[in-house]
Chains A and B, each alone.
Chain A
Amino acid sequence: MSIPLPVFIAIPLVTAFVLPIFGKKGKDAATVLANLATISLLVLAVASIGQSGVYEIGKWSIPLGINLVLDGLSSLLLLAISVVASAAMLFSARYMEQYTAKAKYLSLFLLMVAGMNGVVLSGDIFNLFVFLEIASLASYALVGFGCEHEELEASFKYMVLGSIGSIFILFAVALVYGNTGSLNMAYIGKAIRDSGLNAGLSFAMALFVVGFGLKAALMPFHAWLPDAHPSAPAPISAMLSGILIKTLGIYALARVVFNVFGVSVSIGWLLVVLGLLSMVAGAFLAIGQGDFKRLLAYSSISQIGYVVLGIGLGGLILARAGNNISTEQLGWASLAILGGLFHLVNHAVYKSLLFLTSGSVQMSTGTRQLKQMGGLAEKLPFTRATCTLASASIVGIPPFSGFWSKLILVVAAVQAGFYWIAAIIVFVSLCTLIMYLKVQRYVFLGELPENLQQIKENRGSMLVAMVFLACLCALMGLLVLVPCLKQSILEPAVKVLTDGLEYSAIVMKM
């Protein structure tokens, strides 16, 4: 293994604690340093593709010590985190000039990145909790960063629900430790494979689903998301919707369900139902919104549903077949999980782009209300172009990325015989189309209101960030179309989940 794994956590953590020293006068130096940190993370994440390995902290061998594990799923998530983080950081360089205390903002931002990288790499379930809390605490503070009425209210709401979720997770970790006598995920997986689930572990599983469900804003636990995500500054909305809910929610849930506890038919169904509920309800609620960022936030709930549905469907097929699984069934399961994970990456890119464009529109016009805008296509040409591209992607117009991931999900559902699920996926896509046509119609088309005649587009670093993500959006389809990219990035991640409880054996051998 060529890259030492702690670097992924150390770079943002050290930079985060150095930045506040710069204070008000060294604002520009702080910005440059923070950007350097995120870009170097991006380079490292690209370099880590295709690698795998275990790092033992302080040379204490597992199960005595704490370990970091890099496998296919981790490196996929690391890549997504660093792409979104570097784009959002670039965007912040100009956008955050409106706020005071920029150095503190950058520091919190990097703490959040450090927490997320830690969650993705941790091979120890208690450390997963610790990193999850680091990322969550930073995000609570960032949501309330503006310190205005709405922001404080949203931050408090997010914080109460987020803390309850964290406590549930800690409780579940305690139960797991009590029942298996280990905190290392590989050893817990081994203990569960040898002796099966007892009542205490099943209760822990339920607590994990609720805790991570709260973090991921799945449908019955979604109440905080539509308040928290729009209230944050635009780059932070992009980070929260783009990647935070996926790392803390979906990734952690998938890791625990598939690799530690092992999927069962009931958990598979639970994930499928939660996914479908989030998809349908999120889409319906989004259509009725009059606030640009709030609409995007509800749409995030709907899109998260797709990811959970894909992963849950794969797990369901695996669990139904049991031990003597045929190659055909394994193929369906892999396809469903591939769809889910590919949608996760796609959604990270286009939803963060959409939030960045909404930030650009808000900075120029000073409002988020759709009805107070109109005709901005001439005034904000680049914002319009990137927003349209991202909308086309999320709606699923070929050849953009969203089309491919939804197509894979539909194909997987049809092959496995769940025709009604395929129908719902297509139906929700239609609702998504209505949602984004509404955005285009109210924001960019129609007549320009009197008071917006004088506005100008913000160029500079904001534009670079948006164009960067837009290019990715247009090219992401290649991830599944070009075989070598698919084999090096997506397939290893899918394999980690389809291997299920073999995870423990794989980690111990590394």
Chain B
Amino acid sequence: MPYALCFLLFMIGLYCAVVKKNMVKIVIGIMVMEYAVNLFLIMLGYRFGGVAPIIDKGQLEAGMEQFISSSVDPLPQALVLTAIVISLGSLALMISICIRTYEKYGTFDITQIRRLKG
């Protein structure tokens, strides 16, 4: 069920990016997609009732097997951090291109920004 909702969020973002006419809304749609994928990654490593993947003394005494079977997977969290940094970079670039385009054309409507065709 959470996976289905996550996929729904992804589809909402894709719909927004493909259908909307306003440049800023397209950017928002792309970011919603990005967050849906990040959420999916986090859910992959999540475990209900799991513990944080940090070993302390008590857990070492209780044995490695028990720690492995009860902790959440830390790798997707590292991946999500990287993905967030990347999407921050692309968001900044996209917004700055939007601003420059607005200065040139005086509109955010992509149906009016079309000098390139053919």
Residues of A within 8 A of B (CB): 126, 130, 133, 137, 140-141, 144, 147-150, 152-157, 159-160, 163-164, 166-167, 170-171, 173-174, 177-178, 183, 226-227, 231, 288-291, 294
Interface pair B40/A174, CB less than 8 Å apart: yes
Task: Report Cα–Cα, A149/B100, bound state, in Å.
Answer: 9
Interface size classification for chain B: 20 to 34
- A134 CB to closest chain B CB (Å) equals 8
> Which residues in window 74-118 of B have CB below 8 A to A?
75-76, 79, 82-83, 86, 89-90, 93-94, 97-98, 100-101, 104-105, 113-116, 118
Interface pair A153/B113, CB less than 8 Å apart: yes
Task: Report Cα–Cα, A156/B75, bound state, in Å.
Answer: 33
Interface pair A152/B89, CB less than 8 Å apart: no
Select one of B41, B94, B105 contacting A159, CB under 8 A.
B94
Interface pair B105/A149, CB less than 8 Å apart: yes
Decide: A291 near B14, CB < 8 A? Known: A152-B100, A163-B90: no
Which of chain B's residues have a CB closer than 8 A to the CB of A144?
A: 97, 100
Which of chain A's residues have a CB closer than 8 A to the CB of B104?
A: 148-149, 152
Interface pair B98/A156, CB less than 8 Å apart: yes
Nearest A-chain residue to B105, judged by Cβ: A149
Interface pair A164/B94, CB less than 8 Å apart: no
Which of chain A's residues have a CB closer than 8 A to the CB of B41?
A: 174, 177
Decide: A153 near B37, CB < 8 A? Known: A137-B93, A164-B17: no
Which of A144, A147, A152, A288 has the most B CB atoms < 10 Å from its CB?
Answer: A152
Decide: A177 near B44, CB < 8 A? Known: A140-B93, A156-B101: yes
Interface pair A289/B86, CB less than 8 Å apart: no
Task: Report Cα–Cα, A141/B92, bound state, in Å.
Answer: 11
Interface pair A171/B10, CB less than 8 Å apart: yes
Task: Report Cα–Cα, A133/B14, bound state, in Å.
Answer: 19
Interface pair B113/A167, CB less than 8 Å apart: no
Task: Report Cα–Cα, A160/B101, bound state, in Å.
Answer: 14
Interface pair A294/B93, CB less than 8 Å apart: no
Interface pair B93/A153, CB less than 8 Å apart: no
Nearest A-chain residue to B3, judged by Cβ: A178
> Which residues in window 30-74 of B have CB below 8 A to A?
30, 33-34, 37, 40-41, 44
- A195 CB to closest chain B CB (Å) equals 18
Which of chain A's residues have a CB closer than 8 A to the CB of B37?
A: 167, 170-171, 174
- A304 CB to closest chain B CB (Å) equals 19
Which of chain B's residues have a CB closer than 8 A to the CB of A141?
A: 93
Interface pair A126/B79, CB less than 8 Å apart: yes
Task: Report Cα–Cα, A167/B9, bound state, in Å.
Answer: 13
Interface pair A167/B86, CB less than 8 Å apart: no
Which of A171, A227, A291 has the most B CB atoms < 10 Å from its CB?
Answer: A171
- B102 CB to closest chain A CB (Å) equals 10
Task: Report Cα–Cα, A112/B107, bound state, in Å.
Answer: 31
Select one of A150, A160, A171, A177 contacting B115, CB under 8 A.
A150
Decide: A155 near B97, CB < 8 A? Known: A126-B79, A163-B90: yes
Which of chain A's residues have a CB closer than 8 A to the CB of B100?
A: 144, 147, 152
Which of chain B's residues have a CB closer than 8 A to the CB of A166?
A: 90
Task: Report Cα–Cα, A156/B99, bound state, in Å.
Answer: 11
Which of chain A's residues have a CB closer than 8 A to the CB of B30?
A: 160, 163-164, 167
Task: Report Cα–Cα, A487/B87, bound state, in Å.
Answer: 42
Interface pair A226/B101, CB less than 8 Å apart: no
- B28 CB to closest chain A CB (Å) equals 12
Task: Report Cα–Cα, A226/B93, bound state, in Å.
Answer: 21
Interface pair B34/A167, CB less than 8 Å apart: yes
Chain A to chain B contacts (Cβ below 8 Å), 17 pairs? A126-B79, A133-B89, A137-B93, A144-B97, A152-B100, A152-B104, A159-B94, A160-B17, A167-B33, A170-B83, A171-B10, A171-B40, A173-B79, A177-B44, A177-B75, A231-B116, A294-B118
